[in-house]
Amino acid sequence: MSRIVPFLTFQPGRGQSAAAAMDFYVTLFADGSIVSDVRHGPDGPGPEGSVQVAEFSVAGQVIRCSDSFITHDWNFSPAVSLWVDFADTDEQRRVFDGLAADGTPFMPLDDYGFGTFGWVEDRFGVSWQLALSTS
């Protein structure tokens, strides 16, 4: 069976770290956990200790990530974001505030006519849309 897994490419050359992002995300979300974490060894090809490939789970979704030892011309874009549905406004607020710390809110948490919603780019450059579930 096929499946889609979101993949985040962090670029240490741009000050990003997959390990730091994973640690942050799994502590921010109540159900967060690191599923797997494979690091580069002394023989590379990436710097020793950097993330070769890892998976973490937040809000019921497994996300794969790595540290690219090549600095690419592109970076994360808000055009692609992670959407999270929340059942609880307090949890939505806590996660929004955590992601917004040293990040960039695009749409502050508010009711825009379709329920409480916020859109924020976190300090790692990853874009999140946080919605209060209406179902």
pLDDT attached to residue 106: 97
pLDDT attached to residue 135: 62
pLDDT attached to residue 133: 85
CATH of the domain at 111: 3.30.720.110
Does residue 15 lie within any of the structural domains? yes
Does residue 22 lie within any of the structural domains? yes
DSSP 3-71: ----EEEE-GGGT--HHHHHHHHHHHSTT-EEEEEEE-BTTBSSPTTSEEEEEEEETTEEEEEEE-SS-
- Same structural domain for residues 47 and 15? yes
The parts of the chain modelled with pLDDT lower than 70 are 135
Does residue 1 lie within any of the structural domains? no
pLDDT attached to residue 105: 97
The token pair that represents 7 in the structure block: 């993949």
- Same structural domain for residues 95 and 62? no
pTM across the whole model: 0.92
CATH of the domain at 62: 3.30.720.100
Sign of the C-alpha dihedral, residues 53, 64, 23, 108?
positive
Does residue 128 lie within any of the structural domains? yes
Domain hosting 111: range is: 82-132
Query: Based on the structure, what is the number of domains in the chain?
Result: 2
Does residue 111 lie within any of the structural domains? yes
Whole-number CA gyration radius for the chain:
16
pLDDT attached to residue 1: 84
Domain boundary among 67, 98, 116: 67
The token pair that represents 131 in the structure block: 């919605």
pLDDT attached to residue 134: 72
pLDDT attached to residue 57: 98
d(CA 53, CA 63): 11
